[in-house]
A and B are shown apart, each in its own frame.
Chain A
Amino acid sequence: GAGVSQSPSNKVTEKGKDVELRCDPISGHTALYWYRQSLGQGLEFLIYFQGNSAPDKSGLPSDRFSAERTGGSVSTLTIQRTQQEDSAVYLCASSTKGGRSTDTQYFGPGTRLTVL
């Protein structure tokens, strides 16, 4: 079946604008993760959703970042008042079987965000 999809693939925005990044997980996967890949910080965890449980937001770098997952499927990562340091590739991943530690996370191709 189809893998994890993300849109847009590239996003260029101006400093101070808000952006929304979308992730469509693999059908039937209950766990969804957002990571950020940047030159300065490498790959870092942002947020994790598992079913109807409260999300683990421990990786969000500031209150300008938020995410939601509607209907247990599609997720949107929102960055408000973007800053140049937000420029990065934002990766989404999903996993099945309740998001256990042993589960394989399947990654999407990412959204490359450039803040001018």
Chain B
Amino acid sequence: AQSVTQLGSHVSVSEGALVLLRCNYSSSVPPYLFWYVQYPNQGLQLLLKYTTGATLVKGINGFEAEFKKSETSFHLTKPSAHMSDAAEYFCAVNGGLTGGGNKLTFGTGTQLKVEL
């Protein structure tokens, strides 16, 4: 079985500051990892995903994440926050190629607030 833990249910940053949202995973098989963003009253939108290959993954809106197997982490970063980044962010995992298939297991989410 797979699981993800998102540290910090609420994160607040100043506009222009670094955004760091933490995600740690637990998986008995090599996982595939995803970050989704949810704006108010909207569905989830994929920011980026790690499946295989390069461990530093770049996504939309200037976000990136690095898969670190030794730390079982997949933290999301953005160098400079913008007001439009205020939303809820979800880390998710599935069983990858070898187990569990395609259904996603989500973390509890991190609400990002961007202040002037």
Asked if A pairs with B, the answer is: yes
Residue total for B at the interface (Cβ-Cβ under 8 A): 26
Q: Which residue of A56, A99, A108 is within 8 Å of B43 (Cβ)?
A: A108
Instruction: Specify which chain B residues have a CB less than 8 angstroms from the CB of A93 in the assembled complex.
Output: 43-44
B45 at the interface (CB under 8 A from A): yes
Chain B 94-113, CB-CB to A under 8 Å as 1, else 0, gives: 11110011111111110000
Which of A42, A99, A105, A109 has the most CB atoms of chain B within a 10 A radius of its CB? A105
Are B41 and A103 interface neighbours, CB within 8 A? no
A42 to B91 alpha-carbon distance, docked (Å): 12
Q: Is B46 an interface residue (CB 8 A)?
A: yes
Residue of A35, A59, A102, A106 ringed by the most chain B CB atoms within 10 A: A102
Is B61's beta carbon under 8 Å from chain A?
Answer: no
In the complex, 8 of the A-B residue pairs with CB atoms within 8 angstroms, ordered by the A residue number, are: A43-B90, A43-B109, A95-B102, A99-B101, A101-B102, A107-B43, A107-B44, A109-B41
